[in-house]
Every structure is written in structure tokens, then in C-alpha cells.
Chain A
Amino acid sequence: MLRYLLRRLPAALVVLLAASLAIFFLLRLSSGDPAATLAGPDASDETVAAIRSSLGLDEPLITQYLIWLKGVVTGDLGTSYILHAPIAQLIGESLGNTVLLAAGALLLAVVGGSMLGYLMGTVRNRAVQNVLGALTSLGVAVPTYVTGVLLILVFAVTYRVLPSGGVGPGLSDFEIGVQYLLMPAVALSLPTGATLARFLAASLRHTLDQDFVQTGIAKGLRRRRLMTAHVVPNALPPVTTVLGIQIGQLLGGAIIVETIFAWPGVGQLLLQAVTGRDYLLTQDLLLIAVAVFIVVQIATDVIDAAIDPRIRMERA
């Protein structure tokens, strides 16, 4: 396992380094002067120049890149020009909100998706199959920005039972906090849950057709024992792979969902950084997004390998 992990690492680091170069230098190609924003509308030129040099924006680009990289590696992410706050602190706060949202969504997706997927994979009734198939197709296809707005329209505007946006008191007041979390989490969970259900169903059907299952049935194994001991474990690996990919893409979904529900998470922070031309914050967040994706990918592969010995032998 460790050997397998070590083999994957160099390539991952190369990808991450290439991404950091691309992010840094491409961003600096674009114009815009954070010093002018900081100084405010009626400030003098000398005020702006003084601020620019205090931010280190007059250093050569390559120096700025190295300083940045060193900071990222040592955990010193710098200070946001625009929001006047240490970036580590800004990211820390919003990351908490995004993790809450993503965890809620993932919980809904895994529970709902597994139940639906299990039904679809095991129930042979044609009508049930069709309905579940159509529902999950919709779940995969309907964009999050459509479901999100629809949820608000129904539950916050037409029937005023849930708040239309904001994070509320969070988990400090669970009863209220969970009502704020409900709609964003549902919106974010739908594509993931539906994808999960479809893959689980396909994988279950495939496994059920395998010889060893047929043998098990012929040998008179109890259905329940057959499913829990043989079918489900063998059907899981492709599903965890898909789940890994989906988790890696949750940030993209979070950007949309956080926008709809004014949820102050990393996605909102990223959009704010981009539209406010906050280079430092933008490049930190983008690098983190890429890093998270890569880490999740590797983790997924490692988990797959752990579950399924065949993969480990094949790849190692």
C-alpha cells in the first residue's frame, strides 16, 4: 500500500507544481491594481504608490512567485489586500462553512444514493426500474443552480418554511442551524446522490450476474447473507471510485450553491477574490482547490486498493 502511494506521489507533485506556475503567472498577466482599491476613491497618487510598495507589488515577478511558494509551503498564506485579513484566517472561517455544507450534502447523497441504488440494482419490477431510472437521470442532469432556485421558490418564497439564505447560527444552535443547512445541502447532494445510485445499481446488477453469485444461489445461501457477504462488497469498488470523483468536484458545486444561498464558504470567498482582483487570495484558493482534488483522487485510489486486492496487485 505504502509503495503504491509513494509511486503516485511524484506525478501528483509535478501536477501541483505545474498548476501553481500556471495559476501565478497567468493571474499576473491580467491588469488591475489592488493598491488603488485599498487607497479608496479620493486618495492621492503618492498614497497609492506608498501602499503598492508596502505590499511588495513592485518586486520582480519571479521573486514574488518564490516568496508565495515559500509562504504556501510554510503555511504562511499572506494577507488579503482587499479584505484586510490574514488569508489563513479567512480561509479557515469559510472552509468551516463549506465543510459543513459538503458534509451535509455528502451524508444526504450517500444515504439517499445508496438506498435508491440498492433498490434499482435489486428490484426487478419494470415499472419501479423505469421510475427510479428517470428520477436518477433527472438528478444527474438538472443543474444545481436550477434545483437551488427551485427549492427557494417553493420552500422560502411560496411556502415560507425555510430561510432563503445565509448560514444562520451554524451548529451552535443546531435546531435553527439545520434549517439553514437543509436546502443548500439538498441542492448540492442531488447530482452526487443520483450518480452514486446509478453506479451502485449498475455495479450490483453486474455482480448479481456473476457466476459465484449464481453458484451461491444454487447452493441455497440465504438472500440476506448472500447480499451482505458477497454481492455488496464486490459491487463497491467502482462505486467508491465514482464517489471519490464526485467529492473532488464538490467545490465546483459549492461555488454555485453558496452563491444561490448566500452561504459564506470557500466558493463565495473565491468568487469574491476573483471579482475583487485579490490576487493573493485567488491564487491561494485555486491552488488549494487543485490540491484537494489531487489528494481526494489519490485517497480514492488507495481506498480502492485497500478494498479490492485485485487492483493493488494489478497496479503495483
Chain B
Amino acid sequence: MNGLMRGLRSQEAVIGLAVVVVILGAGLLAPLLAPHSPYAQTSETFLPPSASHWLGTDEYGRDLFSRVLYGIRQDLLVGAVAVPIGAVAGTVLGLVSTVWGWLDTVIQRLFDVTLAFTSLVMGVTVAAVIGPGLPAVLITVSLVNVPLFGRLTRNAVKSLQTRDYVTAARIVGVQPVRLLFRHLLPNALDALVVQAALSLSLAVFIEGAMSFVGIGVRPPEPSLGSLLRTSITFLDRSPLYALAPMVVVTALVLAFNLIGDGLNKGLLRR
């Protein structure tokens, strides 16, 4: 059994996976599960929790439970689109940089520049350029992930390049590109999978943070971050308004972290 599989069966990973499946599943099935439209406004504002409104209603009389469910979908989108784009771009750049020395310097500087914009500063920059909104979140999450995956790939490949079997393959005359994709990349994959779990956690965090400070997902589209932001005004009237998105966003971030930890353990025990 390889390290990743062992990692997936660790206690942390199992708990993490369970939480992720439940929450993301609920988001995915939101159109079926939500008792109301997340946009349906009524004049019944700030209703307390009841059988028809599990979490009560918000300032425009909308059903909060439905809005939280639909809010999860933004994270689903960011995780399923932005993280893979950033991961693939980073991995490819990382691989390419190991082939030619001069390109390595250029790409490393590029990564340096990207890293110098820490995640939220990057978010602010992107929002300043293209304007606040979901696209800004997607671009930010992609960009932030590029150097993370790039560095990881590059370092993994570099350390493998000195191994005997690689030297042997090179002597036998295996083409560099083929060597890279058939032999080096698969061996670097373990580290990349762990990073993917951590990146998903980061993606949820960034979406929440950008929407929270007002440069991410815009109303009336619900997102966990924007729900939490709006809820501050109404903390004294309706604490559940804040608590629901808090619990979900924390659970998601924590769960992805746990999966990452579990995977890491499995790999280290090898």
C-alpha cells in the first residue's frame, strides 16, 4: 500500500474527509436541499429559527439556511476551478524550470514576485485591477497557488534528479521530457497531493476573507464570507446569522487541514 492510501486511512484524514463530503455535498445539492430560494425576499425580517426557517431570516426576509447552503457553492467553485488551474500552472512552470538553467532564474524571480504579494494583498491587488467580485477571487486563488506548486515541483524534481535511477535512465538515453513526465513527476506527486489539500483549505480561507472585506463575492449572491460580514451589523438581533457561516467556514478549513495532516503522516511513515 502506498503512502497516500495509508494517509487517507489515518484518523485525521477520515474525519476531514467526512466533514468535507457532508458540507460540500450539501452545497452541491443545495437546489434540492434548500427549503426556500436563497434570493426570495419577504417583509418578514429577522424571524427566529422555526420549522420553515431553520436558521431564521435575514434583513430582507430571506431564508438564512438556504443562503448558507448556496454560500457553500462559491467555495465549491473556487476549489474545483481556481485551485486546479493554479496547481497545473505551477506544476508545469516548476517542471519547465528544471530543464533550462536560465529559465529557472526567470521563473524563480516570478515566483518571488508572486510570493511577495501575500494571499490577501494579492486579493486586494486583483480586486483593484479587475474590480471586486467572484472573478477576482478565482484569479487570486489561482495566482497564489502557482508559486506554491511551482516551488514544490521544482524542489522535488531537483532532489530526484541526483538519484541513481534517474542517472541510469539518462545514460540509457531516455529523452528528457519523457524522463520528466514518466519518472520524475509521478515521484513528486505525493508532495503535490498534500499541497492540494492545504491549498483547498487556503482557497476557502481566501474566498471568505475577500468576500468578508468586501472585495469578493458580491450581494445578493450569498457566500460564507459575505454572510458573515453582513451579520456583524445584526449581532445583537440575530447571533445565528453570524454563527452559521462561522461554523461552516471553520469546519471546511479545518477539515482540509486535517486531510493534509493525515496524508502527510501516511507519507512520512513510509
* Residues on A facing B (Cβ under 8 Å): 11, 14-16, 18-19, 22-23, 26-27, 29-30, 137-138, 140-146, 149-150, 152-153, 157-158, 248-249, 251-253, 255-256, 259-260, 270-271, 273-275, 282, 286, 289-290, 293-294
- B254 and A145 within 8 A (CB): no
Contact of A141 among B113, B129, B213, B257 (CB under 8 A): B257
In the complex, are the beta carbons of A255 and B214 less than 8 A apart? Answer: no
Please indicate the chain A residues that have their CB under 8 angstroms from the CB of B118 in the complex.
248-249, 251-252, 289, 293
Q: How far is the CA of A140 from the CA of B202 in the complex (A)?
A: 12
Known contacts A252-B121, A256-B209: does B215 contact A143 (CB below 8 Å)?
no
Interface status of B119 (Cβ within 8 A of chain A): yes
Minimum CB distance partner of B247 in chain A: A146
For chain B, the count of residues having a C-beta within 8 Å of the partner chain is 43
Nearest CB on A from B233, distance (A): 11
Q: Are B254 and A15 in contact (CB under 8 A)?
A: no
Query: Is the CB–CB distance between A30 and B130 below 8 Å?
Result: yes
15 A-B pairs whose Cβ atoms sit less than 8 Å apart in the complex:
A15-B112, A15-B116, A19-B116, A26-B125, A141-B254, A145-B209, A150-B246, A157-B235, A158-B239, A248-B118, A251-B120, A259-B213, A274-B124, A290-B121, A293-B118
Q: Is the interface of A mostly helix, strand, loop or mixed?
A: helix
The interface residues of chain B lying within 8 Å CB-to-CB of A260 are 232
> With the chains together, A94 CA to B225 CA distance in Å?
25
Residues of A within 8 A of B214 (CB): 259, 271, 275
* A-B CB contacts (within 8 Å), total count: 129
- Verify A15–B228 contact, CB threshold 8 A: no
Q: Is the CB of B242 within 8 A of A153?
A: yes
Q: Hey, which chain A residues are within 8 Å of B165, CB to CB?
A: none
Chain A residues lying within 8 Å of B81, measured Cβ to Cβ, are none
B127 within 8 A of partner (CB): yes
Q: Give chain B's interface residues, CB within 8 Å of chain A.
A: 109, 112-113, 116-121, 124-125, 127-132, 201, 205, 208-209, 212-215, 225, 228-229, 231-232, 235-236, 239, 242-243, 246, 249-250, 253-254, 257-258, 261
Contact of B213 among A26, A30, A142, A271 (CB under 8 A): A271
Q: Which of A138, A248, A275 has the most C-beta atoms of chain B within 10 angstroms of its own C-beta?
A: A275
- Across the interface, which residues of B come within 8 angstroms of A252, CB to CB? 118-121, 209
Please name the residue on chain B nearest to A251 by beta carbon: B121
In the assembly, what is the distance between CA of A292 and CA of B225, in Å?
27
